[in-house]
Structure 1
Amino acid sequence: MSAMEGDSFTLRTGLTEIQRDDELEWRFGSSRARLTRIAAGNITTYNDETFRDRLQLERQTGDLTVTNITNEHTGVYQLSIVIRNKKSTKRFAVNVYAPVPIPVIFSDASRCALSAESSSRIFLCSVVNVSDVTLSWYKGNRLLSSIGVSDLSISLSLPLEVEYQDKNTYSCVVNNPVSTQTTHLDIDQLCQIHSGSLNPVLCIFVKEFL
């Protein structure tokens, strides 16, 4: 299961009704820390700081809802059920992701002007401080190129070379399993920016990249 930071998720037991003699317990993580349980018709919630004020246990079915989630709630949840003295176990893997940022497109102003050395312009799409994302360029609905990162939180950049007479629609898309952000390329607007008004850090970054 995938979920976004700040949202909630519900893990379902598959039961329709818990009888008074049934027992049910939820645990979390490699340490199998106790979260909450139902026994003799009573609900007990344990004092786990990571889940404080975030747990909701449905008394009739035993479904567990975790609210206001953060990356700390990524992991394996274990459900133990005892019905008529028969024990069964289920495990649920949950991944919590941050919403992706809006990608930024910029260019080296010196490449916007037509010259004898170049018949194209190069634009760079960038996102910062991301993990578990894919950054892609699209021409209309067709994927042109993409780059991805899995674990570490880093910055990603992806170049796009466009011919001077190209009037197609381009867009840069960043996504993870729970969210997507898109920025459309406005060639005329970017190339009207005077080189002196560009952020010096961005200009240096683009020139070093090229």
Structure 2
Amino acid sequence: MSTGESGSDDESDMDSQANEDQLMLMTAYFVMNHHDKYLMKRKRRIPLCTGQQWVFENLSTSKDCYAMFRMYPACFYGLHNTLVGRYKLESTREMSSMEALAMFLWTVGGPESVTQVENRFKRSKETIHRKFEHVLGCLTQLAADIIKPRDPQFPTVHERLQDSRFSPHFNGCIGAIDGTHIRVVVPAEDIANHVGRIRT
């Protein structure tokens, strides 16, 4: 056998060995991938408790209640009783008033997305929206009753408002609500800083 033939046989053996090694690596990859994907598959997650059970579990501990709902249990129960007794927060077939309030507080305290609320409370998005609006309406009525000035005539002016930065520019403005529309005429270059907002 000539030297040239011996060299081509060696190259052929090397190519064959490289192909075998590559095939072994690919086989090992597919076996490991199959093992991770199918044999070590995590079991399907089943909720350990309903939304209502989760609420009562957190209400049973002051620390957890404060962390989840931003208030201690006594405050939560007091707010709930006030909303039920005076502002028509009601339980329905879909959700109790207690769970609705807890869901609202957890959502705004996070803040949490509707998808997160759906996942935590196991309720439909339609139920979540409806209950959120219901609790918000009750709290808005409560706010209108309790957020009031001590004296609507404002006989005393806070010393900070007597500072030259505010006085006399804001004299007589005490009690004005944000959103009050004031008609002004400003130079064209300043229009962006004076956008009108009319409340309907």
Greater RCO (CA < 8 Å, at least 6 residues apart): 1
Structure 1 and Structure 2 fold alike (TM over 0.5): no
TM-score for the superposition, normalised by structure 1: 0.17
Higher strand fraction (1 or 2): 1
- Of Structure 1 and Structure 2, which has the larger fraction of its residues in helix? 2
